[in-house]
Amino acid sequence: MKAVILVGGLGKRLRKVVRDKPKSMAPVLGKPFLQYQIEQLKKYNIIEIVLCVGYLANQIKNYFKDGAKFGVNIRYAEEERPLGTAGALKNSRDYLEDEAFLALNGDSYSEVDFLKFIQFHREKKGMGAILLTRVSRPEDYGLVKMDEDNRITGFFEKPGKTPSSSIINAGVYFLEPRVLNYIPEGRQISLEREIFPHLLEKKVPLFGYLTSDYFIDIGSPQKYAQIQKDMKEMIR
């Protein structure tokens, strides 16, 4: 099984506190944020990893190299220009075999049990499973709705100050390889805002795996400060 991590973003909001680094290389207690994601995958024996790189890619490549130092095998899918989350995933297709794969946003971290998440997908038999979580400030995120069978029925991007739901997309996906057929080649396009809603329009089933496990994204200076405190507690 392979995991794809999307680490090509510009990380503009975080540049106030992390300059001259891609967001995934932001230091957390002395090591890059991305290293925590890789270590989490390795814990579940997911060691075949594709990094979708773009902005300041050489910093990532020079640090992780082929992954041997970290007990994993890393390959790189490099984009010549920003392709968005879906475009970057499409750009990695040559490294993906005809089997389902994990995909992770490079700015979020979760303590979810990946094996249970994958088993959930296999039981539901949809096109993909999306990790979901509840947050106290849902207006900062894209929201997700689903039915009693956990089938996703709608996506709502940052709906404002009075959202009716607190369930958000946590940026971890388990996807069938056929999903790549729905992504156009060589253009900037979003998995969350364009491809997933398009799949719903086409009646292609996606399911939500709701978890209460630890989750954080580091997209803002406030969240970046928070993970420093959280990790200090977790590694005691």
Which amino acid, residue 184?
P
CATH of residue 151's domain is 3.90.550.10
Percent of the chain beyond pLDDT 70? 94
When pLDDT is averaged across residues 15-32 and rounded to a whole number, the result is 88
Mean pLDDT of the residues in the chain: 91
Q: State how far the Cα of 117 lies from the Cα of 166, in Å rounded to an integer.
A: 20
Supply the pTM of this predicted model: 0.93
Burial 16-45 (b: 16+ CB within 10 A, else e): eebeebbbbbbebeeebbbbbbbebbbebe
CA distances to 25, 107, 154, 215 from 36, in Å = 10, 11, 31, 13
Q: Residue 162, exposed/middle/buried by CB under 10 A (0-12, 13-18, 19+)?
A: exposed
Q: State how far the Cα of 88 lies from the Cα of 187, in Å rounded to an integer.
A: 9
pLDDT tens per residue, range 91-148: 999 999 889 999 999 999 999 999 999 999 999 999 999 999 998 776 667 789 999 9
Are 216 and 108 a contacting pair, CB within 8 Å? yes
pLDDT value for 154: 94
Are 189 and 84 a contacting pair, CB within 8 Å? yes
pLDDT value for 11: 65
pLDDT value for 138: 66
Q: State how far the Cα of 113 lies from the Cα of 204, in Å rounded to an integer.
A: 25
Domain range holding 200? 2-234
Q: State how far the Cα of 69 lies from the Cα of 102, in Å rounded to an integer.
A: 22
When pLDDT is averaged across residues 164-169 and rounded to a whole number, the result is 79
User: How many domains does the chain fold into?
Assistant: 1
In residues, how long is the chain? 236
- Going by pLDDT thresholds of 50, 70 and 90, the confidence category of residue 66 is very high
Phi and psi torsions of 206, nearest 5°: -125, 140
CA distances to 60, 66, 79, 191, 209 from 76, in Å = 10, 9, 10, 19, 28
